[in-house]
Amino acid sequence: MGAYHTIELELNRKFTLAKKCWDSVVLDRIEQACDPVQRADVAAVVMQEGLANVVLVTPAMTLLRAKVEVTIPRKRKGSCSQHEKALERFYEAVMQAILRHINFEVVKCILVASPGFVKDQFFTYVFKEAVRQDNKVLLENRPKFMLVHSSSGHKYSLKEILCDPAVTSRLSDTKAAGEVKALEDFYKMLQHEPDRAFYGIAHVEKAADALAIDTLMISDKLFRHQDIQTRSRYVRLVDNVKDNGGNVRIFSSLHVSGERKL
């Protein structure tokens, strides 16, 4: 209808949401959204001097858990003490954010990315402190840390990090990397074997009817379409592919991979 209604939901206040028809796609998304932290098997710290973003990457979305900003004074001739003290404060704040927001029992890999040597200096600082403080959580999970290059410390750099072949191979057993790899595979197939890659609703539906779809990639924006019949058409397509043994990957606009149009 194009109309909106606003209601305030308070923390820990129970509410009931009802509608006449709940389709399979919506129910799956609700189940995932109920506890995204427990499904985030990849974490990333994207940083530069004075700025760090601690991010959890789930199959459906990219969640910013903490943003650390510390003013770092420039080095001065004959005295670097202020610069170094500020850097230590910054690294300490980022380390505490990691301990507070990353569940090491769930996360399989922690990407630490930055331009230059910031990531290396931070990594050295963290495990020097872990030894000093006898922090067993950090020491036991040291192999999960992976240092990678990024163009900046801003969140948007996560896209280039997840597309890095070295990162993709390391994350090959995680769901988030699966989304990125599926998209890259599709573009490669479109380039080298165009007869096997289909796009556009009419062609994809025909392929589904012929039981010819191995992997269906679809944007979640289609399930928020204003026209109910159009929404139902895409839900039927997804259910059809699943019922016939195909894989369905729903790309979210909240995920770095979902920014690329399918």
The span from the CA of 139 to the CA of 128, in Å, is 10
Q: Which of 67, 47, 44, 70 is nearest to 56 (CA)?
A: 44
- Contact in structure between 249 and 182 (CB atoms under 8 Å): yes
DSSP string spanning 213-236? -SEEEEEGGGGG-S-HHHHHHHHH
Rounded to two decimals, what is the model's pTM? 0.60
Q: What is the pLDDT of residues 123-182, one digit of tens each?
A: 999 999 999 999 999 999 999 999 999 999 998 888 888 888 888 777 765 656 667 778
Question: Residue 35 half-sphere exposure, CB side, CA atoms within 13 Å?
Answer: 5
Q: What is the pLDDT of residues 175-228, one digit of tens each?
A: 566 677 788 888 889 899 988 888 889 999 999 999 988 889 888 888 888 888
Whole-Å CA distances, 134 to 4, 32, 124, 140, 170: 54, 35, 15, 11, 28
Within the chain, what is the greatest distance between any pair of CA atoms?
Answer: 74
Task: Please give the pLDDT value at position 177.
Answer: 61
Task: Please give the pLDDT value at position 178.
Answer: 66
Q: How many helices (H) and strands (E) does the chain have?
A: 9, 7
Reading the block at residue 163, the tokens are 């597309």
Task: Please give the pLDDT value at position 142.
Answer: 93
Long-range contacts from 168-172, C-beta under 8 angstroms, 24+ separation: 170/109, 170/146, 171/42, 171/108, 171/109
Task: Please give the pLDDT value at position 185.
Answer: 86
Q: What is the pLDDT of residues 2-49, one digit of tens each?
A: 788 888 888 888 888 888 888 888 888 777 677 666 667 889 999 999
At 98, which amino acid appears? Answer: I
At 134, which amino acid appears? Answer: D
The span from the CA of 63 to the CA of 40, in Å, is 9
Whole-Å CA distances, 165 to 132, 170, 172, 250: 35, 9, 10, 22
The span from the CA of 62 to the CA of 200, in Å, is 27
Residue with tokens 């709940």: 22
Please, is 104 exposed, middle or buried when counting C-beta atoms within 10 Å of its C-beta (0-12, 13-18, 19+)? middle
Q: E strands of the chain, at which residues? A: 42-48, 51-57, 62-69, 109-114, 145-149, 215-219, 247-251
Q: Which residues contact 121 (CB under 8 A, 6 or more apart)?
A: 87, 91
